[in-house]
């Protein structure tokens, strides 16, 4: 009896020792990369009242060719680095199902860098699309979003020169922070916030080109303004900079100003900028003060002003910069407040944080309060490095008789 127990004891010890090895023995359910279709970007367009068209851009690893892939594929450029495929459905999930039927590889969303929404789809409402992208496990919440004038799928079909794919081009544009940059997670947060408003970059193709062209397409970027989940309007580039200043998201900018009573212009490059929003409730009146502090270097001086030593000249340039910034901010405010009545600046969040009790009482009236709210803009610009000399002012001094 004791011998039997000893044998069972030894077996039990061996089983316990071998257990961890069994757990790391292999990946029995792994999927090889050669079995995956790697999605780099996706576009959603509205076909009719009940159907959407999903287009995905698929990366073709070098050396794997691309044979055997079928469907509505379009190769991008001669190098065949990417191709696009489309499918329709009542929603994204159904479109993916139909798309997968055309492909020998499993669609993998883990590398998707951008999601594009066509203008018609955006005006129809994109809440269901955002819900799928946030709910599905594979799409990246850090992927960048754009709304596209016309059909979004055209952007994915255009050849790229500087980057491997058009998805990488748009990713780099978003990362540069020159224009509005919005991720999937950030947009989802906007839709569930206090304002019933959201925004994302607006993309317009300036030079549509076919896929055989040797040139890359050019884009202009504005701001797509959403009321709830539907596109309400579009801000141009100038007003979009105003949005960035208010939201404290501007990181790189060059502005050209014209000082008062002086011919010529001065171009300034931003060094840093910060914006503080100051909500105030006084005597039942709600107001907001936007305080912008910016620092610049003189990039180019096309005037006769001596910015190296003349404090009055420096002050004139700073005042001209303040007026330019305030003008852009005011333009964005006028459109958002008066035309679309949509709070894309998150003023509601500022009032909620500072006056939680007052906000609780009047949050249902926000769509009425926001358009009527007085907004004061206070811009404080400092010129840090004006340059050591100014050719025009030096020439004027040389030509002046002593």
Which of 64-73, 81-90, 109-118 is predicted least confidently? 64-73
Answer whether residue 251 shows pLDDT above 90: no
Which of 134-138, 246-250, 282-286, 360-364 is predicted least confidently? 134-138
| pLDDT tens figures, 363-388 | 999 999 999 999 999 999 999 988 65
Among 77, 73, 76, which Cα is nearest to 87's? 73
The answer to whether 113 and 140 have CB atoms below 8 angstroms apart is yes
Answer whether residue 71 shows pLDDT above 70: no
Region label for 71, one of left (φ > 0), alpha (ψ between -120 and 50) or beta (otherwise): left
Among 120, 165, 173, which Cα is nearest to 144's? 173
Q: In the chain, where are the structural domains located?
A: 32-235, 238-397
Among 225, 150, 153, which Cα is nearest to 182's? 225
Residues in the chain: 402
This prediction has a pTM of: 0.82
The answer to whether 146 and 119 have CB atoms below 8 angstroms apart is no
| pLDDT tens figures, 335-365 | 999 999 999 999 999 999 999 999 999 999 9
Contacts of 12 (CB under 8 A, 6+ apart): none
Beta strands, E only, 60-211? 74-75, 82-89, 106-108, 114-118, 144-148, 197-205
DSSP string, 364-388: GGHHHHHHH-EEEEEEEEEEEE--S
| pLDDT tens figures, 14-38 | 666 655 655 555 554 555 667 788 9
CA angle 326, 252, 220 (to 5 degrees): 85
Residue 159's pLDDT band, with cuts at 50, 70 and 90, is confident
How far is Cα 157 from Cα 169, in angstroms, rounded to an integer? 13
Mean pLDDT of the chain: 84
Strands 114-118 and 36-46 come out as parallel
How far is Cα 229 from Cα 190, in angstroms, rounded to an integer? 10
* Interval 121-148 mean pLDDT: 93
How far is Cα 178 from Cα 180, in angstroms, rounded to an integer? 7
Return the pLDDT at 121: 97
Answer whether residue 12 shows pLDDT above 80: no
Strands 144-148 and 114-118 come out as parallel
Return the pLDDT at 75: 41
DSSP string, 193-211: SSSSEEEEEEEEESS---T
Supply φ then ψ for residue 114, to 5 degrees: -140, 155
Rounded alpha-carbon distances, angstroms, from residue 81 to 76, 84, 159, 252, 352 = 7, 11, 10, 32, 49
Tokens 């340059």: give the residue: 387
Answer whether residue 261 shows pLDDT above 80: yes
Contacts of 233 (CB under 8 A, 6+ apart): 225, 335, 339, 340
Residue 214's pLDDT band, with cuts at 50, 70 and 90, is very low
Tokens 């044979």: give the residue: 67
Looking at CATH, the fold of the domain delimited by 238-397 is given as: GMP Synthetase; Chain A, domain 3 (3.30.300)
Answer whether residue 396 shows pLDDT above 90: no
Give alpha helix (H) positions in 158-269: 166-175, 184-191, 237-246
Return the pLDDT at 73: 41
Helices and strands of the chain, counted as H and E runs: 13, 14
Using a pLDDT cut of 90, give the percent of the chain over it.
61
Residue 395's pLDDT band, with cuts at 50, 70 and 90, is very low
């Amino acid at each position: 009896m004791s011998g039997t127990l000893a044998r069972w004891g030894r077996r039990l010890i061996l089983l316990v020792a071998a257990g961890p090895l069994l757990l790391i023995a292999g990946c029995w359910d792994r999927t090889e990369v050669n079995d995956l279709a790697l999605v780099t970007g996706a576009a959603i367009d509205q076909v009719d009242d009940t159907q959407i068209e999903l287009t995905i851009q698929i990366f073709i690893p070098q050396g794997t060719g691309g044979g055997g892939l079928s469907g509505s594929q379009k190769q991008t450029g001669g190098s065949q680095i990417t191709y696009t495929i489309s499918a329709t459905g009542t929603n994204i999930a159904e479109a993916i199902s139909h798309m997968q039927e055309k492909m020998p590889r499993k669609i993998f969303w883990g590398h998707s860098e951008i999601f594009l929404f066509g203008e018609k789809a955006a005006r129809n409402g994109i809440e269901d699309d955002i819900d799928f992208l946030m709910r599905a496990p594979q799409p990246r919440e850090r992927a960048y979003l754009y709304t596209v004038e016309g059909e979004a799928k055209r952007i994915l079909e255009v050849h790229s020169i500087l980057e491997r794919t058009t998805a990488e081009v748009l990713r780099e544009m978003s990362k540069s922070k020159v224009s509005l940059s919005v991720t999937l997670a950030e947009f989802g947060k906007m839709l569930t916030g206090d304002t019933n408003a959201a925004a994302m970059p607006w993309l317009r193709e300036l030079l549509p080109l076919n896929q055989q062209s040797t040139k890359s397409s050019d884009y202009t970027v504005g701001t797509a303004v959403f009321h709830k989940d539907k596109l309400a309007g579009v801000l141009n580039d100038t007003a979009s900079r105003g949005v960035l200043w208010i939201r404290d998201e501007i990181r790189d900018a060059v502005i050209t100003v014209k000082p008062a009573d002086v011919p010529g212009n001065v171009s300034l490059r931003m060094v840093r900028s910060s914006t503080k929003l100051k909500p105030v409730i006084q005597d039942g009146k709600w107001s907001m003060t936007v305080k912008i502090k910016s620092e610049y270097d003189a990039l180019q001086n096309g005037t006769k002003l001596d910015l190296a030593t003349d404090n009055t000249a420096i002050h004139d340039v700073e005042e001209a910069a303040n007026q330019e910034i305030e003008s852009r901010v005011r333009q964005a405010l006028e459109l958002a407040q008066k035309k679309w009545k949509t709070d894309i600046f998150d003023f509601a969040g500022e009032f909620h944080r500072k006056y939680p009790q007052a906000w609780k009482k009047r949050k249902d009236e926000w769509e009425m309060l926001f358009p009527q709210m007085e907004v004061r803009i206070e811009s404080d610009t400092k010129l840090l490095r004006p340059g050591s000399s100014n050719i025009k002012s030096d020439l004027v001094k040389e030509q002046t008789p002593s």
